Structure 1
Amino acid sequence: MKINAGVTNGIMKIYSLTILLIVILSCRLSAQQQSLNEKKIVSLPSQAEQVDHKIFIQLPKSYGHSKMRYPVIVIFDAHDPTLFDYTSAVVDRLMSTKDIPEAILVGVCQKDRGKELGVERSEITSMKFLQFIKDDLVVYLRSNYNIADYFTFIGHSLGGQFVSDAMMKYPEIFKSVISISGALNYPANNQEYNFYKRKVLTQMEKYVKSKVSIGIPQKYYFSVGDDGMQDSMFRLGALTADSILTSSNPAFLKWHFDEFKGFNHMTTPLVSIPAGLCFIYQDWHFSDSLAMDVLSTQKTDPIDALNKQQLKIKQSYGTDIALPDFLYDQFANFYLDKGNLVKAKYIADQIIISHPNDDAPFALMADILIKQGNKKGAIENLKRAQSNSSIEKYKEKIADLDKP
């Protein structure tokens, strides 16, 4: 089904975010990132290709400090530092603003992108590279990292062609895909590119009629610009894909198409990456209006709101993806202020379960127990908070409570 409204809260949000991120990149990412650690470089062997691929992995700063399971965002063509660094900045920013969940960012460097990503021209070698992604990379990430087993794959140009093809061949792995200026077709009369045989688009026509079911809606975001020679050519394929999906409107596929006026083949990633990620994770995002209903107008009970949102996430992504910590903290304090200590304690317990190595949840629990008149329990929780903190900020409070 096509999704139009609310994808990115308006085009101006995308442009503003793009300008901000360009400023970040102009500083060469010298400032420390807020949400992602520095990238780790892994050399990963491909069984199908008999070569090693360089992989970049950036973990969220919270990784290892909580029991959270993280979704994975994979960007191809990561050997291009401008593309990978920009994607890293976008992911970092959107995680910080809570527009997308905390995620593991993976960059795949290409050795020969034409042979690896070019489904139309190099079907045999691109199929071997696809085997590497599903049999080696995905297996490696599942085995070595605490992931939520939800992958989003981002490809630009030939990468867009590759991910569009892959989502139809292996929908259970390629559950969400972002195709940016995907090389889906060129005009038939262009002799220089006569190797385009419309393979991906033909497959798409069959795919939308197949009634594929992976238990959750598959998500497909694709975009194109209208400026410059390449995107004026790739526009034909994007518009054809849009027509195929519009006419069939498959129930198992949530999709959105953006045609960016004034953007060319090399600038479309600047707007498409944040727009695509916001689209993919719109069912995860806890909107400001919902938070307002809970905290200000009080039309919705906080625990009911959290439970409904978690159910929505499970139905949309097929796995539990943690909501932002600040929501739980805000809602626990909301109950605490209202004197509903049972519900405040319930939420504080949830925070402690997911973040047993942080001090704040135990300090919150101590405040609740103090109001309940349970000084002993409060002291125990403050001691736990102190043991998880690098500074001795709870000692005075413990001493005050310990007085006869």
Structure 2
Amino acid sequence: MKHMNMRKLLIMILLCVSTFFTNAQTNKIEIGIIDTIKSKILNEKRSVWIYKPENFNLQNKYPVIYLLDGDWHFISVVGMIQQMSYINGNAIFPEMIIVGIPIKDRFRDLTPTCDSLISKTSGGYNNFISFISKELIPYIDSNYPTAPYKLLIGHSLGGLTVMNTLMKFPDMFNSYVAIDPSMWWDNQISLKEVKIFYQLKSSKIKDCF
């Protein structure tokens, strides 16, 4: 029953996030903080946008959404969670911490292979996901009261990153939401891998939407 409820939750997240991505607002409001991490893996400083629930309490533990292209979608996803969580008397979503990850170079960070005809910097997915797993997630876990439930959400090239992470590191996150993933990349190489992955892992597949 608990697993079914979580699947319903993820379906709702997918539907709502898709709607909010389509109708994202550009008005600036203060709903979180911007922090900076000095990444040894990427050899650069990376900013992250962090939202804490309005009823934030250090005694509670919160699931965490890791949101790719956070500078584009942060306000929309925070608004969705606020509107549909306990803070507004709803029980559709639990209160969550949201970590928005702005992307400096989308082709570099979000693509698994190099296609120099599109971008000479492409193909840096492995370093980027190592930054998330070895630096960002431990940083968030050490500075915030996080529950052991993590979601990765991405759109377009971000969705491609979600799918590649599911295939290569299925235990890194509990659930994966890939919205209109760019499976066309590099002659659909990831799409071919996904088909094989689902055939081999169909009985053990993680929640992916």
Q: Normalising by structure 2, report the TM-score.
A: 0.78
**Corresponding residue number in structure 2 for 1:71:** 63
Largest Rg, 1 or 2: 1
Pick from 187, 203, 208: which aligns with 1:251?
Answer: 203
Structure 1 residue 198: Cα displacement = 2.5
**Corresponding residue number in structure 2 for 1:384:** none
Q: Alpha-carbon deviations, 1:274-323, whole Å to 9, x = none?
A: xxxxxxxxxxxxxxxxxxxxxxxxxxxxxxxxxxxxxxxxxxxxxxxxxx
**Corresponding residue number in structure 2 for 1:60:** 53
CA distance in structure 1 between the partners assigned to 2:102 and 2:95 by the alignment = 23
CA distance in structure 2 between the partners assigned to 1:137 and 1:113 by the alignment = 18
Aligned residues: 189
CA distance in structure 2 between the partners assigned to 1:42 and 1:256 by the alignment = 29
Q: What runs of 5+ residues in structure 1 fail to find an aligned partner?
A: 31-36, 186-194, 212-249, 258-404
Pick from 91, 97, 116: which aligns with 2:81?
Answer: 91
Q: Alpha-carbon deviations, 1:353-397, whole Å to 9, x = none?
A: xxxxxxxxxxxxxxxxxxxxxxxxxxxxxxxxxxxxxxxxxxxxx
Query: Given that residues 167 and 175 in structure 1 are in contact (C-alpha distance below 8 angstroms), is that contact kept between their aligned partners in structure 2?
Result: no
Q: What runs of 5+ residues in structure 2 fail to find an aligned partner?
A: 115-121
Tell me: higher relative CO, structure 1 or 2? Use CA pairs within 8 A at least 6 residues apart.
Answer: 2
**Corresponding residue number in structure 2 for 1:116:** 109
Mapping 1:189-208, distance limit 5 Å: 196-208=186-198
CA distance in structure 1 between the partners assigned to 2:19 and 2:48 by the alignment = 26
**Corresponding residue number in structure 1 for 2:118:** none
CA distance in structure 2 between the partners assigned to 1:46 and 1:128 by the alignment = 10
CA distance in structure 2 between the partners assigned to 1:54 and 1:61 by the alignment = 22
CA distance in structure 2 between the partners assigned to 1:25 and 1:111 by the alignment = 21
Return closer, same or farther for 1:209/1:18 CA change in 2, 3 Å cut-off. closer
Query: Given that residues 120 and 200 in structure 1 are in contact (C-alpha distance below 8 angstroms), is that contact kept between their aligned partners in structure 2?
Result: no
CA distance in structure 1 between the partners assigned to 2:127 and 2:96 by the alignment = 27
Return closer, same or farther for 1:182/1:52 CA change in 2, 3 Å cut-off. same
Return closer, same or farther for 1:48/1:90 CA change in 2, 3 Å cut-off. same
Return closer, same or farther for 1:151/1:18 CA change in 2, 3 Å cut-off. same
Structure 1 residue 155: Cα displacement = 0.6
Mapping 1:188-227, distance limit 5 Å: 196-211=186-201
**Corresponding residue number in structure 2 for 1:298:** none
SS in 2 for 1:253: coil
**Corresponding residue number in structure 1 for 2:174:** 175
SS in 1 for 2:186: coil
Structure 1 residue 92: Cα displacement = 1.2
SS in 2 for 1:119: coil
Structure 1 residue 180: Cα displacement = 0.9
**Corresponding residue number in structure 2 for 1:104:** 97
CA distance in structure 1 between the partners assigned to 2:19 and 2:107 by the alignment = 28
Q: Normalising by structure 1, report the TM-score.
A: 0.42
CA distance in structure 2 between the partners assigned to 1:169 and 1:135 by the alignment = 15
Q: Structure 2 counterpart of 1:198, which letter?
A: Q
Which one has the bigger strand percentage?
Answer: 2
Structure 1 residue 251: Cα displacement = 2.4
How large is the Cα RMSD of the aligned pairs?
Answer: 3.0
**Corresponding residue number in structure 2 for 1:133:** 132
Q: Alpha-carbon deviations, 1:28-50, whole Å to 9, x = none?
A: 376xxxxxx83111111222110
Query: Given that residues 57 and 104 in structure 1 are in contact (C-alpha distance below 8 angstroms), is that contact kept between their aligned partners in structure 2?
Result: yes
Structure 1 residue 79: Cα displacement = 2.3
